[in-house]
Amino acid sequence: MELFFRKIAQLSASLVFVILAATTIVLYLSAKPAIEEFGINFLFESRWGEEEKVELSPAELSELESVKSDIDASISDDFIEDEDDFMMDDEDFVTDDDMESNDNETKVVYGALVPIVGTVFSTLIAMLFSVPIAMGIAVFLSEIAPGAVAKPVGIAIELLASIPSIIYGMWGLFYFGPFIAGLFGGNTVSLLVAGLVLGIMVIPFMAALSRDAITTVPDMLKESAYAMGATKLEVIKDVVFPYARSGIIGSIILSFGRALGETMAVAFVIGGVYQFAKKVTDPTNSIPVVLANSFAESSGLSLSVLFYLALILFVLSFIVIASAKFYFLRKK
């Protein structure tokens, strides 16, 4: 029986790597046409769905001239002088205007720079806003508040963490966005509103995880510090935070990952405009919002472009979270 449970545990652990590898392969294969078409320039291009003229090479122009000459010669051979038998439409002739219009071909250009910038900055605003508040809530619940207060507040925090993101988005669009626009000016949907709504969303999640990490600090350590004359602030700063650092950093990393990939709440309040936000109060776009808004009407190359964008988000999330984990937690 013990061997059976060990095999089940190993299989479950292996399944994580299987899912990770399968997701990466599927995203890459679906994005491959777009990768071959746009390459690395996709990351630095700010246009989306715009047509761009492509100059034909001299060989292509020569071939076009040859085709025109062959068609004109064929028309001359088949020309019938009898007026009754003359049946020639204008489109049968290849004119100079046709040649000029065919000198340049067009292609649709896609770029990921705008949603990448919008995603990164909205997430940074969210973390700058949420981390201090979440840490304050966690310390209050675990170290300061009496039990009669800490328990109901803790339950409320957990309930807030379970609220669907679409509700935060609706609240942000109709109430919070106008309030922020009234304070700072600008639009009711903007990069700032999206970042703050994201921050409000992750505060309960981060606070609950950080509180759980802080409650693991042994009472003996805190009592020893108090016995040596340390104040409440010194105990929190020199004993509680260092001991619970790994758990606190883990909560921040997980919250960062959730904010980075959030879709519905951001779709309501970021504006969905494919342009850079010159100010934080301007609307812009993010990777999850572009994916959610564009999949329904996409096909062919445009669909592959969306998978390319999803692959970028996947890699970006993986790199940020993995880097933070290995860099910070190795110092614990």
Which two three-digit tokens encode residue 26? 């599927």
Residue 224: pLDDT band (50, 70, 90) is confident
In terms of domains, do 236 and 197 share one?
Answer: yes
In terms of domains, do 204 and 163 share one?
Answer: yes
What is the mean predicted confidence (pLDDT) over 175-185?
Answer: 91
What is the mean predicted confidence (pLDDT) over 26-39?
Answer: 91
Residue 244 and residue 216 in contact, taking contact as beta carbons nearer than 8 Å: yes
Please calculate the CA angle 310-206-155 and round it to the nearest 5 degrees.
125
Evaluate if residue 99 carries a pLDDT over 50.
Answer: no
**pTM (predicted TM-score):** 0.79
Calpha distance 184→169 (Å, rounded): 20
Is 126 inside a domain boundary? yes
Is 16 inside a domain boundary? no
For the chain, what is the largest distance between any 2 Cα atoms, rounded to a whole number of angstroms?
118
In terms of domains, do 296 and 263 share one?
Answer: yes
The CATH number given to whatever domain includes residue 130 is: 1.10.3720.10
| Eight-class DSSP state of 271 | B
- Of 312, 139, 314, 123, nearest to 237 by C-alpha is 139
User: In the chain, which ranges are continuous DSSP H helix?
Assistant: 2-38, 58-77, 96-102, 113-139, 147-161, 165-171, 177-184, 191-214, 219-227, 232-235, 241-243, 245-261, 264-269, 287-294, 301-329
In terms of domains, do 265 and 155 share one?
Answer: yes
- Quote the number of domains for the chain: 2
Evaluate if residue 136 carries a pLDDT over 70.
Answer: yes
What number of residues does the chain have?
A: 332
Evaluate if residue 93 carries a pLDDT over 50.
Answer: no
In terms of domains, do 69 and 156 share one?
Answer: no
Calpha distance 69→96 (Å, rounded): 12
Which residues make beta-bridge pairs with 105? 54
Q: Which helix (H) or strand (E) holds 102?
A: helix 96-102
Residue 86: pLDDT band (50, 70, 90) is very low
| Eight-class DSSP state of 280 | T
Query: pLDDT tens digits for 51-62?
Result: 777 665 566 556
- Positive or negative, the CA dihedral 212, 218, 221, 225 is positive
Calpha distance 76→69 (Å, rounded): 11
In terms of domains, do 62 and 180 share one?
Answer: no
Query: pLDDT tens digits for 70-82?
Result: 665 665 555 544 4
Residue 29: pLDDT band (50, 70, 90) is very high
42: amino acid identity, one letter:
F
What is the residue range of 315's domain?
113-329
Residue 69: pLDDT band (50, 70, 90) is low
Is 41 inside a domain boundary? no
Determine the pLDDT at residue 105: 67
Residue 269 and residue 329 in contact, taking contact as beta carbons nearer than 8 Å: no
Per-residue H/E/C for 31-79: HHHHHHHHHHHHHHCCCEEEEEEEECCHHHHHHHHHHHHHHHHHHHHCC
Determine the pLDDT at residue 228: 86
> What rounded mean pLDDT belongs to the chain?
83
Instruction: List CB contacts of 87: < 8 A, sequence separation 6 or more.
Output: none
In terms of domains, do 213 and 150 share one?
Answer: yes
In terms of domains, do 200 and 296 share one?
Answer: yes
In terms of domains, do 96 and 151 share one?
Answer: no
In terms of domains, do 236 and 149 share one?
Answer: yes
In terms of domains, do 275 and 173 share one?
Answer: yes
- Angle between the N-to-C axes of helices 113-139 and 191-214, in degrees from 0 to 180, rounded to the nearest 10: 40
